[in-house]
Amino acid sequence: MRNEGGILILGLGNRLLTDDGVGPAIVDLLQASDAEALARADARVCDGGTVGLALLPLIQDASALIVVDAARFSGAPGDVRVFTGADMDCQVGRAANTVHEAGLADLMSAARLAGFLPERRALVGVEPAETGWGLEPTPAVAAAAPQACGEIRALLERWPQ
């Protein structure tokens, strides 16, 4: 099966590295607060952690992809920005855009080479303040979670099945 499994919302990041864990934290909040919107959109949510290429089968089955991650884009800590399509590809390909940028860049490249990178794809990025050891995001990044969830909901509304 290829690109027939609905929208995949993939939270990436290491929960042990303060703001780097924002992706999984946001998808947790999304599942807790927006279950009805997720069901209406036929969206699956996955905490991808820092797994990397092992996530490829999930992307293969997705009709659309939303990645939620800490991303460096020269914003203020806690700023949320959405990158879609080719803009996402450029952001992912930039040097030093996340703590684990090679993993996401490799994942996207592998999906493209295999012929199943969804045309509808987006990165919901949150500018990190700190990515050192710590179990909680910094206050600015934690405060950005509701806005990031709103951006994801907006994508789900724009991308009907």
Task: Examine residue 77 and state whether it is found in any structural domain, yes or no.
Answer: yes
Q: How many CB atoms lie within 10 A of CB 88?
A: 22
Contacts of residue 53, Cβ cutoff 8 Å, sequence gap at least 6:
103, 106, 107, 110
Q: Which pTM was predicted?
A: 0.92
Task: Examine residue 78 and state whether it is found in any structural domain, yes or no.
Answer: yes
Contacts of residue 147, Cβ cutoff 8 Å, sequence gap at least 6:
80
Give the three-state DSSP class for 125.
strand
Task: Examine residue 96 and state whether it is found in any structural domain, yes or no.
Answer: yes
Rounded to whole angstroms, how far apart are CA atoms 158 and 44? 16
pLDDT value at residue 98: 53
Percent of all residues in the chain with a pLDDT value above 70, rounded to a whole number: 92
> Mind listing the pLDDT tens digit for each residue in 91-102?
988 755 555 545
pLDDT value at residue 54: 86
Task: Examine residue 1 and state whether it is found in any structural domain, yes or no.
Answer: no
Task: Examine residue 51 and state whether it is found in any structural domain, yes or no.
Answer: yes
Expressed as residue numbers, the domain containing 109 is 7-158
Task: Examine residue 57 and state whether it is found in any structural domain, yes or no.
Answer: yes
pLDDT value at residue 70: 94
Q: What is the CATH number of the domain that holds 43?
A: 3.40.50.1450
Those residues of the chain that have pLDDT short of 70 are 1-4, 95-102, 161
Total of domains in the chain: 1
Task: Examine residue 132 and state whether it is found in any structural domain, yes or no.
Answer: yes
pLDDT value at residue 1: 40
Task: Examine residue 122 and state whether it is found in any structural domain, yes or no.
Answer: yes
